[in-house]
Amino acid sequence: MISTTSTAPATAPVIRTQGLTKQFTSRKQTVDAVRGLDLRVDEGELVALLGPNGAGKSTTLRMLTTLLPPTAGTAQVAGFDITRQRSAVRARIGYIGQGNGAGQSQRGRDELLSQGRCYGMSRAATAARADELIASLDLTGVADRKVSTMSGGQRRRLDIALGLVHSPRLLFLDEPSTGLDPQNRVNLQEHVRALRARHGTTVVLTTHYLDEADALAERVIIIDHGQLIADDTPAGLKARHADSELVLAFDDAADAQRAADRLRQHVPDRPARIEPVPDPSGARRPPGAQVVLRAADAPRLLPRLLRDLEEAGLAPAAATAASPTLDDVFLSLTGRSLRDAGGAESADADAADANAKETPA
């Protein structure tokens, strides 16, 4: 297990878990959904739990929000124990689950007003808070319509408003963007960032979108098979666990082989891979090939390699250096791609599915 949070930060923890564990048993089969999670989240952090389908992200969130009792271990949320002080925890958090929380036949504003009253807020305070949330989540103009007539993005923003009516210190979002098209996804991310900037709300969200975790979260906690396998900033994870990739394309496959041999002296511990590059016209003889090389700091290495190859009369036809992604991090930690493990790809399929639902009914 790799964690970089061992040195205690100065701010107070809003979440603290010790050996948090959940087993499900059905038909004599036991599933270890969450296995001994030790976690600390501080006031004001924006944290993403990233992992493939079935990794244990939602189960973790459901335990932290008191919806599921842990099988073992303990956790304190906003200073209260999730098992013994459930009401105190619930009063201080907002939770937006995977399904839509608002009643389809209700008007958005009415849903917000009912929610505030449920939390014991006065009529006037609820109305003022509803106005504020409608404006800040860009729902002006649609809040007085029935939920069933709103687009997927508008409904998701209404869900977030519902989770924020009682001004929680801590907001849990379970896969907030799943089912949204890319534009609405970016829009939602902007709203989450703005919320945090405006109210200092601590946000913990789950996602299997690699780009979302990368762009939105300051801290990414990677979960696999119910265990925390890495915990750092996106940049820190990449620097620590993944290499950049260099691709040098040659018109002649023999030159690619010669270049790969020559590159060995620069990166002796990383053998280059040679991949054929088929000519779409089929006319070129001999066929081209590309040299693919992984190195710790490929973009900085590239100019030196190019100079050397040029001196040897082996200048490539094209060269690219790609920075690592969080998928490279996951691959380096688990030996599997997050896409193959049922992460981003299935999420994209969900989004494609839901694009059809984006059009207001």
Ligand X SMILES: Nc1ncnc2c1ncn2[C@@H]1O[C@H](COP(=O)(O)OP(=O)(O)OP(=O)(O)O)[C@@H](O)[C@H]1O
Residues 208-237 that bind ligand X (CB under 6 A): 208
Q: In what order do the strands lie in the sheet with 227-232?
A: 93-96, 170-174, 202-207, 46-50, 219-224, 227-232
Least CB distance from residue 328 to ligand X, whole Å? 20
Place of tokens 């290495």: 301
Of 44, 40, 31, nearest to 3 by C-alpha is 40
Q: How far is the CB of 106 from ligand X (least distance, A)?
A: 27
Q: What's the min distance (Å) between Cβ of 54 and ligand X?
A: 4
Smallest distance, ligand X to C-beta of residue 174, A: 7
Determine, following the binding rule CB under 6 A, whether residue 101 of this chain makes contact with ligand X: no
Count of CB atoms within 10 A of residue 268's CB? 8
Identify the residue among 31, 127, 292, 333 touching ligand X (CB under 6 A): 31
Nearer to ligand X, 30 or 148 (CB): 30
CA distances from 20 to 40, 54, 59, 71, 192 (A): 12, 17, 11, 8, 27
Q: Give the binding-site size for ligand X (rule: CB under 6 A).
A: 13
Compute the least distance from the CB of residue 350 to ligand X, in Å.
10
Q: Residues 2, 24, 310, 353: which binds ligand X (CB under 6 A)?
A: 24
Residue 74 CA, distance from chain mean position: 25
Residue 90 in contact with ligand X, rule: CB under 6 A? no
- In angstroms, the CA 169 to CA 47 distance is 14
Residues 173/160, Cβ–Cβ less than 8 Å:
yes
Q: Which of 26, 87, 265, 359 binds ligand X (CB under 6 A)?
A: 26
Could you tell me if 34 and 22 are in contact, meaning their C-beta atoms sit under 8 angstroms apart?
yes
Residue 250 or 330: the one with the smaller Cβ distance to ligand X is 330
CA dihedral over 319, 325, 328, 329, signed as positive or negative: positive
Task: State the nearest-atom distance from the C-beta of 207 to ligand X, in Å.
Answer: 8
Applying CB under 6 A, among 14, 20, 33, 160 the residue interacting with ligand X is 33
For residue 71, which phi and psi values (nearest 5 degrees)?
-80, -35
Task: Determine whether 274 is exposed, middle or buried from the number of CB atoms within 10 Å of its CB (0-12, 13-18, 19+).
Answer: middle
* Candidate segments 25-33, 88-96, 182-190, 251-259, binder of ligand X by CB under 6 A: 25-33
Find the shortest distance in angstroms from Cβ 32 to ligand X.
8
CB-wise, 59 or 244, nearer to ligand X? 59
Q: Which is nearer to ligand X, 52 or 316 (CB)?
A: 52
Q: Which of residues 45-74 bind ligand X (CB under 6 A)?
A: 51, 53-59
Would you call 37 helix, strand, or coil by DSSP?
Answer: strand
Where do contacts with ligand X occur on this chain (CB under 6 A)?
24, 26, 31, 33, 51, 53-59, 208
